[in-house]
């Protein structure tokens, strides 16, 4: 006769939990998540992150740190920043622009520089010479007027834009004050195989500097510039009284100067 279960035993059997089957395979979709591979890092160069197009500054702190403390910008940088070319740097600075020579100083003969009095120099005209004695020196030669700085700069800029035509140089004393000046203007011709002629103009020396052969050095320097830029001759006008001076400079009589002056000056 089979044993009869008591009420308590039946209750225990019906509420018991079956042991798990350890041999059952867990589906892959229900498995534990696999660790992800780290994403490729962005290349870093000289402290900057780069996407290959535009460098991006590397963050120096987390957002939380940025909210708590403002970090002062570093005064030193390890990145190599590109530098402007020399000519661009000069143009970007107004002071440098005023000191930029009208033409290349290499056109002025070193031999002539060596013959100047001690402490004197010869160089191309600059915009800053408006304040450096250029106009007072010209007044020794003829009427100049009273041009404003703006008018002077406008005329200088026009001449500078044609720096293959106008060559104006100055001689300066020990204080870098202009005490002598002259110009050669290059004329382009159809004759003489499309030849170039240098017209020497506006030779002037300050009154307190005369007797030092500065005028001779100006003429020699301008004559040399004309030759270097390709002129087949240079010409000038002078008075009878100054003919002997220009003969010493290597010139000779080649005709008679004629002029027609106009009462009303038209400005184009």
pLDDT digits (tens, 9 = 90+) for 127-176: 999 999 999 999 999 999 999 999 999 999 999 999 899 999 999 999 99
Reply yes or no on whether the pLDDT at 241 is more than 80: yes
- Average pLDDT (232-243) is 91
CATH code, residues 90-248: 3.40.630.30
Reply yes or no on whether the pLDDT at 54 is more than 80: no
β-pair type (121-124, 55-57): unpaired
CA atoms within 13 A on the CB side of 155: 11
Mean pLDDT (the chain) is 77
Residue 33: predicted pLDDT = 52
Higher pLDDT, 69 or 167: 167
- Average pLDDT (32-48) is 48
Are the beta carbons of 202 and 181 closer than 8 angstroms?
Answer: yes
Phi, psi of 15 (to 5 degrees): -100, 0
Share of the chain above pLDDT 70, in %: 63
pTM score above 0.75: no
Q: Which two tokens stand for residue 64?
A: 């939380």
Residue 259: predicted pLDDT = 85
- Average pLDDT (18-31) is 49
| pLDDT band at residue 96 under the 50/70/90 scheme | confident
Reply yes or no on whether the pLDDT at 28 is more than 60: no
| Cα dihedral: 159, 162, 163, 168 (round 10) | -30
Residue 12: predicted pLDDT = 43
Reply yes or no on whether the pLDDT at 222 is more than 90: yes
Residue 256: predicted pLDDT = 83
Reply yes or no on whether the pLDDT at 260 is more than 50: yes
Residue 265: predicted pLDDT = 67
Residue 48: predicted pLDDT = 37
Residue 31: predicted pLDDT = 47
Q: List alpha helices for the chain, DSSP H.
A: 7-15, 63-68, 86-92, 94-99, 110-114, 134-138, 149-160, 191-194, 214-228, 243-248
Reply yes or no on whether the pLDDT at 51 is more than 60: no
| pLDDT band at residue 56 under the 50/70/90 scheme | very low
49-53, 100-104, 203-207: which range is least confident on average?
49-53
Residue 267: predicted pLDDT = 65
Reply yes or no on whether the pLDDT at 89 is more than 90: no
Phi, psi of 28 (to 5 degrees): -60, -35
Residue 58: predicted pLDDT = 47
């Amino acid at each position: 006769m089979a044993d009869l279960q008591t009420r308590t035993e039946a209750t225990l059997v019906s509420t018991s939990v079956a042991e798990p089957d350890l041999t059952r395979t867990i589906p892959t979709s229900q498995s534990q998540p696999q660790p992800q591979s780290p994403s490729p890092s962005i290349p870093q160069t000289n402290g900057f992150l780069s996407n290959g197009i535009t460098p991006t500054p590397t963050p120096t702190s987390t957002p939380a740190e940025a909210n708590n403390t403002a970090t002062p910008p570093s005064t030193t940088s390890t990145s190599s920043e590109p530098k402007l070319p020399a000519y661009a740097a000069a143009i970007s600075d107004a002071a440098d622009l005023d000191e930029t020579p009208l033409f290349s100083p290499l056109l002025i003969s070193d031999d002539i520089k060596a013959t100047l009095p001690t402490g004197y120099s010869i160089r191309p005209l600059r915009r800053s010479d408006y304040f450096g004695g250029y106009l007072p020196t010209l007044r020794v030669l003829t009427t100049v007027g009273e041009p404003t700085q703006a008018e002077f700069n406008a005329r200088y800029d026009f001449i500078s834009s044609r720096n293959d035509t106008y060559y104006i140089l100055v001689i300066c004393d020990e204080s870098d004050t202009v005490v002598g000046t002259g110009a050669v203007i290059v004329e382009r011709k159809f004759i003489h195989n499309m030849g170039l002629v240098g017209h020497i103009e506006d030779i002037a020396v300050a009154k307190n500097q005369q007797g030092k052969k500065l005028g001779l050095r100006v003429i020699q320097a301008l004559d040399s510039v004309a030759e270097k830029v390709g002129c087949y001759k240079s010409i000038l006008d002078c008075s009878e009284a100054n003919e002997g001076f220009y003969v010493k400079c290597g010139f000779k009589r080649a005709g008679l100067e004629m002029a027609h002056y106009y009462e009303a000056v038209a400005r184009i």
